[in-house]
Amino acid sequence: MTKSLFPFLILLITLAFTCYGQEISVNSDRLHESLMKLSSYGKNANGGSDRQAYTKHDIEARAYVKALMEDAGMQISVDFAGNIIGRKAGKNPSLKPIAFGSHIDEVPNGGDYDGPVGSMGSIEVVKTLSEKGIQTDHPLEVIIFTNEEGGVVGSRALVGALSKEALQVVSSSGFTQYEGIKLLGGNPDRIPELKRNVGDLAAFLELHIEQGGNLYSEKLDIGVVEGIVAIEWWEFSFLGKANHAGTTPMNMRKDPMLPAAKFVLAVNEIVNSYEGRHVGTVGKIQAFPGAGNVIPGEIKMTLEIRDLSSEKIWEIYSQIEKSAKSLASASEIGLDIKHIEVASKPALADPMIREIIKSQAEKLGFTTKSLPSGAGHDAQEMARIAPMGMIFIPSKDGISHAPEEFSTKEDIANGTNVLMNTILELDKRLK
């Protein structure tokens, strides 16, 4: 090639890239400003967030969210469960919407990123598309869910999984869900009417902070979520005989603390003996009667196991149960085991969406890792009715649900760009 042609060729290549590739990106300054503004609603003296669902801070923050949605060109509605829904029409109204979103409520003294990143990120995506004059074929729906931290209330309502009894549960604001939903402008009596069914949405996506330390410690940009783990709980009671700690000789005791202590170690050993990313925890121990000068008569402890596969959870559990039984019988101690219903099933991300998230992230030059979500999210409920995908960004030191929760402005913009490009690619493929 002659030298004179070279600059021309470069120009052509650049032009081709600009026209072909989605060379658009979100406005990271604007996104960060909206996050900071949102965090001002309910900021407490510790620097934490007291924006629990249904509080005055939550209600004021929701007004701010609606204003942002309107500015981004969305049509806003609040459904009977209090979910805020922003719609942007697609070119083809016969297609089902691509939905995405998160929550803005926090745990008491929580952080500024768990929920808000995905909420503000979703609105920023629509704002950017509107600004650049890009209209997708599918309608778009941004959903800001009601009371995620209090039991994924809004998303459960949306998929028809919120019972009447659940509405009577008192939330951390002091209001029942029923009262709280009314405060948000919902109508709890009519919740059954808003149920969406399988096929009503083309897909659901959620951008979220990881809340764990995988991405941060490995210095990776984007987490491609494989799914949200199932959780199972049990209560183990080791039953001995309470007696005087001073007058009962060592060889005449029936002390349930001994097998219970060995049990804690056994749980850790058994859980570690399996390959994979499952976790098992003894998180609560109670001694009865619970006095320094009494040999306990009973030790109660909880066991929790989480994994993407329910079968694997039960396989690990069966080994733990075996070990507990042999520890108890070796010390001539009784054992009582109760399975506690938490009704948490694994929610797997859609394989095609996972592949799109990964390839779009890599196209943008980001490093990725596939990983399960150990925490619950609205996406786990939405997976019951739509192909689901989740995008994680790093959490500093893996801290969450605390004032120290932090993600960088750059990571937030990166995650939001991956969300936007995933939506655009899904818009092309889901036809």
Residues that bind Zn ion (CB under 5 A): 114-115
Task: Kindly state the smallest distance separating residue 265's Cβ from Zn ion, in Å.
Answer: 33
Instruction: Compare residues 100 and 238 and give the one whose CB is closer to Zn ion.
Output: 100
Long-range contacts of 76-80 (CB under 8 A, 24+ apart): 78/184, 78/185, 78/186, 79/157, 79/158, 79/186, 79/194, 80/157, 80/181, 80/186, 80/187, 80/188, 80/190, 80/191, 80/193, 80/194
Instruction: Compare residues 112 and 114 and give the one whose CB is closer to Zn ion.
Output: 114
Instruction: Compare residues 115 and 280 and give the one whose CB is closer to Zn ion.
Output: 115
Task: Kindly state the smallest distance separating residue 206's Cβ from Zn ion, in Å.
Answer: 9
Closest CA to 424 of 25, 17, 16, 116: 25
Task: Kindly state the smallest distance separating residue 102's Cβ from Zn ion, in Å.
Answer: 6
Neighbours of 10 (CB within 10 A): 10
Instruction: Compare residues 121 and 296 and give the one whose CB is closer to Zn ion.
Output: 121
Task: Kindly state the smallest distance separating residue 196's Cβ from Zn ion, in Å.
Answer: 20
Task: Kindly state the smallest distance separating residue 115's Cβ from Zn ion, in Å.
Answer: 4
Q: Read off the DSSP letter of residue 293.
A: T
Task: Kindly state the smallest distance separating residue 114's Cβ from Zn ion, in Å.
Answer: 4
Instruction: Compare residues 205 and 266 and give the one whose CB is closer to Zn ion.
Output: 205
Token pair of 361, please? 């992230």
**The dihedral sign for the CA sequence 362, 365, 371, 375:** negative
Instruction: Compare residues 73 and 398 and give the one whose CB is closer to Zn ion.
Output: 398
Q: How many CA atoms lie within 13 A of 186 on its CB side?
A: 32
Output the CA–CA distances (angstroms, integers) from residue 299 to 32, 238, 332, 410, in the order listed: 49, 5, 14, 49
Task: Kindly state the smallest distance separating residue 235's Cβ from Zn ion, in Å.
Answer: 27
Which contiguous run of DSSP H or E holds residue 147? Answer: none
Q: Over the Cα atoms of the chain, what is R_g?
A: 25
Task: Kindly state the smallest distance separating residue 379's Cβ from Zn ion, in Å.
Answer: 10
Neighbours of 5 (CB within 10 A): 10
Asked whether the beta carbons of 90 and 137 are under 8 A apart, the reply is yes
Instruction: Compare residues 118 and 256 and give the one whose CB is closer to Zn ion.
Output: 118
In 129-229 the beta strands, taken as DSSP E runs, fall at 140-145, 203-209, 222-228
Task: Kindly state the smallest distance separating residue 80's Cβ from Zn ion, in Å.
Answer: 22
Closest CA to 303 of 334, 329, 270, 274: 270
Instruction: Compare residues 115 and 372 and give the one whose CB is closer to Zn ion.
Output: 115
**What spatial distance separates the first Cα and last Cα of the chain, rounded to whole Å?**
43
Instruction: Compare residues 86 and 115 and give the one whose CB is closer to Zn ion.
Output: 115
Asked whether the beta carbons of 54 and 184 are under 8 A apart, the reply is yes
